[in-house]
């Protein structure tokens, strides 16, 4: 039975004027009314709009810790109609695992399980909620450092692998596998320690969760090689020559024209093979190298040349090539020499500049029309009356440094290599724009560079941008020396390391691969270490290669 509370009503009194029969009937009516009002069915009402059932839409829920999930309670009346805005109370059996607010939004607190219950006047329903641990992020990047170390045979270097997720955060505690692509040259253990075994370049790979990073390891035959050399000259062609402390000249590379000075033509030296001694027994204080000829300066100021003389670059009055040193530019005593691609220049003891060889585009500076392309087989004075301390030869132009530190250039100017802001070639020296005072100047292939105290400026086709006037090389390097090559330029920083930049790249000093220090470099391609060893790079190889003594 279900009790019903009725509203309080005032029962009227029986009028005194009524008959006894009416009074009896009035009493019966009141008694019946009390009985009907006081008793009835005790079951819940099931009519429209009255909650009869409640169900949570989700059967079960799995959610990662730290995330949220929205539950939905469906309340229906007895006719099966969904009630639009029922009163529902939500609760959790373990709020430390999963909490729920009064809209049914579940917050996953920590791994575990809890029951989430929805209750209304019609009853309740519950669903299990499983809170799972956040999965660790996957490895996205593997970074190996150092990325290009140099070691000698028998030496070791420790590599480290840094693992990062997609968002960049560093990951720890992951397994890393190490491997070498050529163990006859270098091996690596499971801790990333590399051992140099044989001379060459080895790719060391670190792999974690399918992602890899690499390091190029350069293995040299001997790292701290003690060599006899003080200077090196890198040619614009395919050979190099160096001077020992005693003034002996040694050369390596191509020898089709006798440019090695070995007394014969044709057979040169391959990479890694010992060089050859220049014959003739001369003592030199300077060597310069053109495309396929070489010249040396003796302590007495005499110039000797060997190799190709096809354009008269020996200054001997003829075009006969020879594979051993011959006296060049006889009758003049020089302080310094400079070699272009197919010509040679020098500064005499009187600080006058002379050039000889191929004379196209006014490269010899003799004042002839730039259309005059004939070669000069004997030294010709550079016009203009300037006094020079040094001169440097490029492919088709030259640059000189005056006694006051001003830079002048002459010859081809199609790439602005004269530095005067114009494009017209000149057969006489023109001043480099900017008014800078240089300590050295160097003519390259299609560009030129000059050095002030520690800053190097370049102009022409020295980078990916054509430079109309002297522009400083970037890279935060203070230079001790520099020298322009055919397509690249290099220098030694005051930190002792070698840097270079190239015609097709930004004008930024890039560090040479490896861990070498140098006292000097030539053409951005070769250098001499403090211990007197010569290393060369570029061309078919980018890592420094030891040039072995004869």
Whole-Å CA distances, 473 to 28, 330, 413, 453: 120, 39, 21, 13
Structural domain range at position 400: 289-546
301 and 213 belong to one structural domain: no
373 shares its domain with 437: yes
Report the CATH number that the domain containing residue 495 is assigned in CATH: 2.130.10.30
Q: Domains in the chain: how many in total?
A: 3
In a domain, 509, yes or no: yes
- Give the closest residue to 295 by CA, choosing from 238, 230, 246, 251: 251
The answer on 175 and 105 residing in a single domain is no
Question: Does residue 340 lie within any of the structural domains?
Answer: yes
**How much is the pTM?**
0.65
Q: Which of 132, 163, 187 delimits the end of a domain?
A: 132
Positions of the chain with pLDDT lower than 70, given as ranges: 1-47, 221-224, 226, 271-272, 514-515, 539-543
CB-based contact 511:544 (threshold 8 Å) = no
Asked if residue 243 belongs to a domain, the reply is: no
Nearest one of 335, 280, 285, 341 to 313, comparing CA atoms = 341
Same domain, 126 and 163: no
Residues 168 and 313 in one domain: no
In a domain, 36, yes or no: no
316 & 430 share domain: yes
Q: What's residue 221's pLDDT?
A: 65
**Is residue 425 within 8 Å of 440, Cβ to Cβ?**
no
β-bridge pairing 456-460 and 447-451: antiparallel
E runs forming strands in 310-446: 322-328, 334-339, 343-348, 353-357, 376-381, 388-393, 397-402, 407-411, 426-431, 440-443
| Residue 550 · residue 241 · CB < 8 Å | no
d(CA 187, CA 204): 8
For residues 214 and 178, give the distance between their C-alpha atoms in angstroms, rounded to a whole number.
Answer: 10
Structure confidence by residue, pLDDT tens digits, 300-319: 999 999 999 999 999 999 99
Tell me, what CATH number does 179's domain have?
Answer: 2.60.40.1080
Which of 132, 163, 193 marks a domain boundary? Answer: 132
**Domain termination residue (choose one: 132, 160, 189):** 132
Tokens of 153: 């045979």
Q: What is the pLDDT of residues 5-62, one digit of tens each?
A: 334 344 445 444 444 443 433 343 333 333 333 333 444 455 677 889 999 999 999 9
* Same domain, yes or no: 192 and 334: no
Q: How high is the pLDDT of residue 35? A: 32
367 and 445 fall within a common domain: yes
Q: What is the DSSP letter of 28?
A: H
Number of neighbouring beta carbons within 10 Å of residue 326: 18
What DSSP string describes 60-98? Answer: -EEEETT-EEE--EEEEETTSPBPSS---EEEES-TTTE
Answer yes or no: is 268 within a domain: no
Q: Examine the domain organization and report whether 353 and 405 are in the same domain.
A: yes
Same domain, 183 and 327: no
263 domain-assigned: no
Residue 335 dihedral angles phi and psi, to the nearest 5°: -90, -30
Q: What does the alpha-carbon distance between residue 346 and residue 102 come to, in Å, rounded to a whole number?
A: 94
**57 pairs with which residues across the strands?**
none
Interacting residues of 10 by C-beta distance below 8 A, sequence separation 6+: none
Helix (H, G, I), strand (E, B) or coil at 27: helix
Say if residue 309 is in the same domain as residue 452: yes
Asked if residue 278 is part of any domain, the answer here is no
397-402 and 160-164 strand pairing: unpaired
**CB of 340 closer than 8 Å to CB of 357:** yes
Whether 438 and 479 map to the same domain: the answer is yes
Task: Give domain status of residue 281, yes or no.
Answer: no
């Amino acid at each position: 039975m279900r009790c019903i509370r009725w509203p309080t009503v005032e029962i009227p009194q029986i009028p005194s004027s009524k008959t006894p029969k009416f009074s009896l009937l009035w009493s019966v009516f009141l008694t019946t009314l009390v009985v009907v009002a006081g008793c009835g069915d005790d079951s819940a009402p099931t009519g429209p709009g009255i909650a009869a059932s409640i169900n949570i839409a989700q059967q079960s829920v799995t959610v990662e810790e730290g995330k949220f999930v929205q539950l939905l309670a469906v309340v229906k009346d007895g006719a099966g109609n969904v009630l639009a805005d029922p009163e529902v109370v939500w609760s959790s059996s373990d709020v430390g695992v999963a909490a729920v607010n009064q809209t049914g939004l579940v917050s996953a607190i920590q791994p575990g399980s809890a029951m989430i219950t929805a209750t209304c006047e019609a009853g309740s329903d519950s669903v299990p909620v499983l809170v799972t641990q956040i999965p660790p992020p996957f490895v996205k990047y593997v970074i190996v450092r150092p990325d290009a170390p140099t070691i000698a045979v028998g030496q070791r270097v420790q590599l480290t692998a840094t693992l990062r997720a997609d968002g960049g955060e560093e990951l720890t505690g992951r397994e890393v596998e190490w491997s070498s692509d050529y163990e006859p040259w270098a091996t690596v253990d499971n801790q990333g320690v590399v051992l140099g075994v044989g001379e060459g370049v080895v790719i060391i790979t670190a792999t974690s969760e399918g992602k890899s990073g690499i390091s190029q390891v350069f293995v040299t035959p001997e790292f701290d090689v003690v060599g006899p050399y003080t200077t090196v000259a890198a040619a614009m062609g395919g050979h190099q020559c160096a001077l020992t402390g005693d003034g002996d000249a040694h050369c390596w590379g191509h020898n089709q024209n006798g440019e090695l000075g070995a007394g014969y033509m044709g057979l040169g030296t391959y990479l890694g093979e010992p060089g050859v001694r220049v014959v003739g027994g001369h003592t030199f204080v300077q060597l310069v190298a053109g495309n396929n000829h070489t010249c040396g300066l003796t302590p007495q100021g005499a110039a000797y040349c060997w190799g190709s003389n096809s354009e008269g670059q020996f200054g001997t009055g003829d075009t006969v090539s020879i594979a051993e040193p011959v006296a060049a530019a006889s009758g003049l005593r020089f302080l310094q020499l400079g070699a272009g691609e197919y010509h040679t220049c020098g500064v005499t003891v009187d600080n006058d500049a002379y050039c000889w060889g191929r004379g196209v585009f006014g490269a010899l500076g003799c004042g002839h029309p730039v259309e005059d392309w004939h070669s000069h087989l004997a030294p010709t004075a550079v016009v203009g009356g300037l006094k020079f301390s040094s001169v440097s030869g490029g492919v088709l132009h030259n640059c000189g440094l005056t006694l006051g530190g001003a830079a002048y250039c002459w010859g081809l100017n199609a790439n602005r290599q004269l530095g005067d802001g114009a494009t017209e070639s000149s057969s006489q020296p023109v001043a480099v724009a900017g008014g800078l005072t240089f300590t050295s100047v160097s003519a390259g292939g299609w560009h030129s560079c000059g050095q002030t105290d520690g800053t190097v400026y370049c102009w022409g086709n020295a980078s990916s941008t054509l430079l109309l006037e002297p522009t400083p090389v970037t890279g935060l390097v203070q230079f001790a020396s520099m020298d322009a090559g055919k397509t690249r330029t290099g220098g030694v920083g005051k930190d002792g390391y070698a840097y270079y930049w190239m015609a097709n790249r930004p004008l930024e000093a890039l560090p040479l691969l490896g861990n070498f220090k140098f006292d000097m470099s030539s053409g951005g391609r070769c250098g001499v270490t403090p211990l007197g060893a010569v290393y060369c790079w570029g061309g078919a190889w980018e890592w420094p290669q030891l040039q072995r003594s004869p």
